[in-house]
Amino acid sequence: MKIKLVAVHAVLITGIGLLAGCGGGGEGPIVPPPPTPAEYAEKHMPSDWWGNAEKVEQGRKIYMGEANPDVNCSSCHGKDGKPVKAGATDFRNGERMKLYSDSAWFWRISEGVPDTRMKGWKSKLSEEDIWKLVLFERTFALSGKVWNEEKKQWVDAGTIAVASTETR
């Protein structure tokens, strides 16, 4: 009887652990990210890139690990934006992703995310390549959207004339 109780407890503990860490618990509540640091807050996607299919494809190649053998975002975030590793952000979740400006995405890719397995990639990627990643990653949940700095939100690409911006 004592052995059966120990086995039942082990199964329950394992099950609870799996739910909390692998899919059952998800990413947690949807909350805004911390403020983007000043050195990144003024960086924005080059305005003529938003509708540029060639840049999106270049971003896809970086994301999939085809362009740079040291970088493969899909190994954690999944080829379709659905995480394949516990703790990775689900890029298909539009409610979460719309809380991140283009600057915030650029910052997170560059510097990583503290207290997670997401490391910074600025030593492996140029600023241009990081913008290509932002451009591609937005296609999972925010396809057809562009960041409007004036409104501080993602808007339909066809509803605004995007002002020219500098990334450096």
CA distance 45 to 15: 43
Q: Which CATH class is domain 31-159?
A: mainly alpha
The answer to whether the CB of 73 falls within 8 A of the CB of 122 is no
pLDDT score for 18: 31
pLDDT score for 29: 85
Burial of 74 (0-12, 13-18, 19+ CB in 10 A): middle
pLDDT score for 161: 55
Q: What is the pLDDT of residues 58-106, one digit of tens each?
A: 999 999 999 999 999 999 999 999 999 999 999 999 999 999 999 999 9
How many Cα neighbours within 13 Å face the side chain of 147?
Answer: 27
Confidence category of residue 49, pLDDT binned at 50, 70, 90 = very high
Instruction: Report domain extents, the chain.
Output: 31-159
Q: What is the pLDDT of residues 24-34, one digit of tens each?
A: 345 778 888 89
